[in-house]
Amino acid sequence: MSSKKTIKAAFEAMMFTLGEPLDVKLAADVLGISNKDACAYFKELQDEYEQEGRGLRVREVNGAFQFVTSSDVYDYIERLCTPSKKKKLSQSALEVLAIIAYKQPVTRGEIEAVRGIKCDRVLEGLENKGLIAEVGRSAGVGRPILYGTTDTFLRHFGFTSIEDLPGIDDIENAVHEQEEDDDSGQVTFNLNESVAQ
């Protein structure tokens, strides 16, 4: 049986070697410990790096863990090397991605209904970037493709899991609150409308 220290050291070295997120199950298998214990050790590491204010952080992506740099020292890295930049997504890509992220699994038709505009090109682009993937077929007419987000999506946005997304209910509330605010100043104009026509 390996000591706690050895297990954590092994996880560090394994994450470093792998680069991409290391699945808890796989890590637990290699060490011969339970998934639950493995997960607890990863969380401990995560806390340590954060609390010690290190330049590396342990990031969780859908039940897997990876080393990434701390965003606190971004400026230095940028000064050191112009790192191969992940490209920012376009506005339309972000919109489509938001619809998929919150409504998944979702068909192209449903996405287009929300945006009022075709989005086959955007979908293709997102799929090529690995941010979305086909996750099945709808039972509806023509059995259209259902889309969902991928782990690459989580990594690109720094989300731990899909539950980590800002709550859609909050968004709805935010929209409504804003509307109410808007409403307060509008009463007088509303009457004018019928007259104007």
Using CB under 8 A as the binding rule, the residues of this chain from 148 to 187 that contact a second copy are: none
Position 180, amino acid: E
The correct pick among 1, 51, 79, 195 for binding a second copy (CB under 8 A) is 79
Is residue 26 near a second copy by the rule CB under 8 A? yes
Q: Is 82 in the site for another protein (CB under 8 A)?
A: yes
Specify the residue, 28 or 96, whose C-beta has the smaller distance to another protein: 96
Rounded Cα gap, residues 148 and 29, in angstroms: 29
The pair of structure tokens assigned to 71 is 């965003």
Find the binding residues for a second copy in span 3-22 (CB under 8 A). 5-6, 8-14, 16-18, 22
Quick one: which of 1, 80, 141, 195 contacts a second copy (CB under 8 A)? Answer: 80
- Closer residue to a second copy in complex, CB, 45/97: 45
Among the listed residues 156, 129, 161, 149, the one whose alpha carbon sits nearest the alpha carbon of residue 39: 161
For position 81 contacting a second copy by CB under 8 A, the verdict is yes
CA 7 to chain centre: 28
Cα-based torsion angle of the residue sequence 67, 88, 129, 137 in order, rounded to the nearest 10 degrees: 100
CA 170, distance to chain mean position in Å, is 17
Helix (H/G/I), strand (E/B), else coil: 167? coil
| 163 lies in the site for another protein, by CB under 8 A | no
Q: Write the single-letter amino acid at 20.
A: E
- Closer to another protein by Cβ: residue 13 or 143: 13
Which of 116, 128, 139, 163 is the binder for another protein (CB under 8 A)?
A: 116
